[in-house]
A and B are shown apart, each in its own frame.
Chain A
Amino acid sequence: MKELLKELCLINGISGDESAVRDFILSRIPDDCNRRVDNLGNLICFKKGKSSPKKKLMICAHMDEVGCIVTSIRDDGTLTFDTVGGIDPFVLAGRQVLVGKDGISGVIGSAAVHNLSKEEREKAPKVSSMYIDIGAEDSSDAKKYVKPGDCVYFDSDFISLGEKCVKGKAIDDRAGCAVMIALMNDELEYDTYFVFNTQEEIGLRGSRVSAFSVDPDLAIVLEATTASDIDGVNGSARVCSLGKGPVVSFMDKSTVYDKELYRLAFDAAIEENISCQTKTKIAGGNDSGAIHISGDGVRTIAVSVPCRYLHSASCVINTEDLNETYKLVKTLMKRIFAI
């Protein structure tokens, strides 16, 4: 699954521009899957299992990643931009980026530290005062290569850190996509819908319409969630930790999760000897927020891979967590029909 995740993370696809990710996924899902692409670009698949339960189960992950979008070209050839999804200005300043379909290299520069006042050095930079430098001499030079509306991606490789961890951009939520592709290639016990959503990062847009059209009774959302188990952060502020298995939360900013499903996940984890943890802070949100209030309501649970430095060019996960997430969801896909 690590190789699959690598291929997925190296594809560029910010919210609203997920087609390259979707094309790759289409090449990796089994032939015995029904598939369609809806008006928002969501990829909705259905695979028959050995039996057809009365309740409808939907598993989903989102294809989009955070990035930026070019808003204008200045006279001096620099590009103004906005973020697509929430990105901390600290992780934008001083980075290499790729602009547009042709992947023009650029940098988000910042004034030399020598020339900053003491006050400026101690204050967070503002995204609104940042810009991208692609090396253009002036605007007519820049216009030959880029245009407003071009997508901007982190220029970031996918590497191993130590024996267990990997680092890359877009692990949120290509990790979920990777787990789902692996599950789809297994033989299934029960009929299942698999949905690859668009536009999660700008407000759970794709999942709102895909949940409406699939109209499931039960949903399992596969995600990457924010871990802060780093030096200097202690106790509950760590939220969740790498290497302690998938994260099943009882509540986040967008959803109070179904209590029975929450318990089912932990019971299953214990019985199957899968490590599993919860979040110790009410933070973040995911497509569950749109799904659980879709139609007349969907019983929803999210199973997430803990991820450090989420929404940066350098997301870090432990691949053991990825494998444990796969195992937990695989057993939940059977057990969930019992409730």
Chain B
Amino acid sequence: MDLENILVQLAESAGASGCEATAAETSLSMLRKYCPDASIEKGNVIGYFGDFDPKRKTVLLDAHIDQVGFIVTYITDEGFIKFENLGGIDRRILPAQQVVIHGKLDIKGVICSVPPHLSSGDDAVPGYDDLCIDTGMAANEIRKLVSLGDTINFDVKCRKLIGNRLTCQAFDDRCGVASIIYALEQIKNLQLGCNLAVLFSTQEELGERGAAIGGYRINPDIALAVDVSFAYSIGEKEEKCGRLGKGPMIGISPSLSREISDKLVSCAEKASIPFQTEVMNGLTSTNADRFVVCRDGAKGCTVSIPLRYMHTPVEVIDIKDVKLTGRLLAEFVKETM
């Protein structure tokens, strides 16, 4: 399986929170190879691997398909597009970024900035009130193509760094999707002792909203939120971060099931899969927070892929970590009855 190609395809599919259709189609087509009946339900991609037996436990593997982005709020009479954020974005990196507006067509533009020759030298970070997008078009042209509420993403291509590393936007959390696909490839010829559901969920970045309804629909006994977490880079706190290339980060937190955390650790040890632990002290800010309290509750845990520069157009991951995460997920479902 060409995991790198899968990662590139997923990361380059548009899917700002609330507008995930393209990313949903891409991930659905990948999932159907293993879950032929998979479909899109109210935006979420949902599929079942193998037979469903109501007497068995249901394990849910989840990754979110939305990414941080922007939304069009206004078009000025000069044709500039005003916008606000979808999800948390560092405004310090926005000036002069190339973006693509998903209007009737994909329209490219540049976020306006004042060049150094003219800036007053103060170092205030522009707010959304100060920012706009330049598409090179006049208002009457752009209004034909772009409507208020259209979403916007960074316009960036995936690039291969040296070794096993890749950079693109939206690896948060398309690499989670890729790791689940990789896990399914590992178990594709096996009969499992549990029901296995896969959810590629919407609107995580706006507060895990897709997971709320997806979790309700699937009603899992055990739910693994496969997301990304902070890989150490300069400027981050070492003790709060995992390391790139050192394997999946298994979550341990009062809000998660210690039983599942322990089982993930023992699965990793048994299969000699390198792993890291990520200790949190309450909620996890992942879809696991939703699954755990869905309906009459589920045993939840997080499995996170280390990632640098989260929510920027230049997120960096190590393909090795995606593979190791997929292997751990496969081992876990194989071991679950």
* B91-135 near A? 1/0 per residue, CB < 8 Å: 111111110000000001110111111110001111001101011
Q: Determine, out of A54-62, A128-136, A297-305, A331-339, the stretch whose residues face the partner at the interface.
A: A128-136
A137, B245: Cβ atoms under 8 Å? yes
* Contacts known (A113-B88, A231-B80, A283-B117); A314 close to B110, Cβ less than 8 A: yes
Contact B92 A93 (CB under 8 A): yes
Say which residue of A161, A232, A233, A310 sits within 8 Å of B137 (CB atoms).
A161
Cβ-closest 3 pairs across A and B: A135-B161, A161-B136, A165-B136
Task: Point out the residue from A122, A137, A233, A283 that lies within 8 Å of B124, measured CB to CB.
Answer: A122
Q: A107-B167, A141-B163 are in contact. Are A96 and B314 (CB under 8 A)?
A: yes
User: Which chain B residues lie closer than 8 Å to A155 at the CB level?
Assistant: 159
- A111 touching B125 by the CB < 8 A rule? no
Chain A residues contacting B93 (CB-CB under 8 Å) are: 90, 93-94, 110
Which single member of B117, B129, B134, B310 contacts A113 (CB below 8 Å)? B310
A228 close to B163 (CB less than 8 A):
no
Contact check, B124 vs A124: say whether CB atoms are below 8 A apart.
yes
Interface string of A132-161 (1 = CB under 8 A from B): 011111000110110000000001100111
Q: Which residues of A contact B236 (CB under 8 A)?
A: 111-112, 115
The answer for the CA separation of A310 and B109 in the assembled complex, in Å, is 15
Are A113 and B108 neighbours in the complex by a CB distance under 8 Å? no
Contact call B314/A94, Cβ cutoff below 8 A: yes
Q: A194 to B167, alpha carbons, bound, how many Å?
A: 42
Task: Indicate with 1 or 0, residue by residue over B51-72, a CB within 8 angstroms of chain A CB atoms.
Answer: 0000000000000000000000
In the complex, are the beta carbons of A90 and B112 less than 8 A apart? no
Residue A281 is within 8 A (CB to CB) of chain B in the complex? yes
Q: Is B141 among interface residues, defined by CB-CB distance under 8 A?
A: yes
Complex CA–CA separation, A144 to B132 (angstroms): 41
Q: Jot down 28 A-B pairs with beta carbons below 8 A, ordered by A.
A: A88-B115, A90-B92, A90-B93, A90-B125, A93-B92, A94-B313, A95-B313, A95-B314, A105-B167, A107-B167, A110-B93, A114-B311, A116-B90, A121-B125, A124-B123, A135-B163, A136-B162, A161-B109, A161-B137, A163-B137, A226-B115, A230-B80, A230-B114, A308-B110, A309-B95, A309-B110, A309-B112, A316-B136
Q: Chain B residue with minimal CB distance to A86?
A: B116
**Prevailing SS type, chain A contact patch:** loop
A255 within 8 A of B: no
B280 CB to nearest A CB, Å: 13
Contact check, B134 vs A161: say whether CB atoms are below 8 A apart: yes
Give the residue of B97, B129, B136, B230 whose beta carbon is less than 8 angstroms from that of A94. Answer: B97
From A125, A167, A226, A237, residue with most partner B Cβ within 10 Å: A167
A311 at the interface (CB under 8 A from B): yes
Which single residue of chain A is at the shortest CB-CB distance from B125?
A122
> Given A90-B96, A112-B230, A232-B130, are A137 and B115 also a contact pair (CB < 8 Å)?
no
B234 within 8 A of partner (CB): yes
The answer on a CB contact under 8 Å between A308 and B309 is no
**Complex-state Cα separation, A104 to B159, whole angstroms:** 10
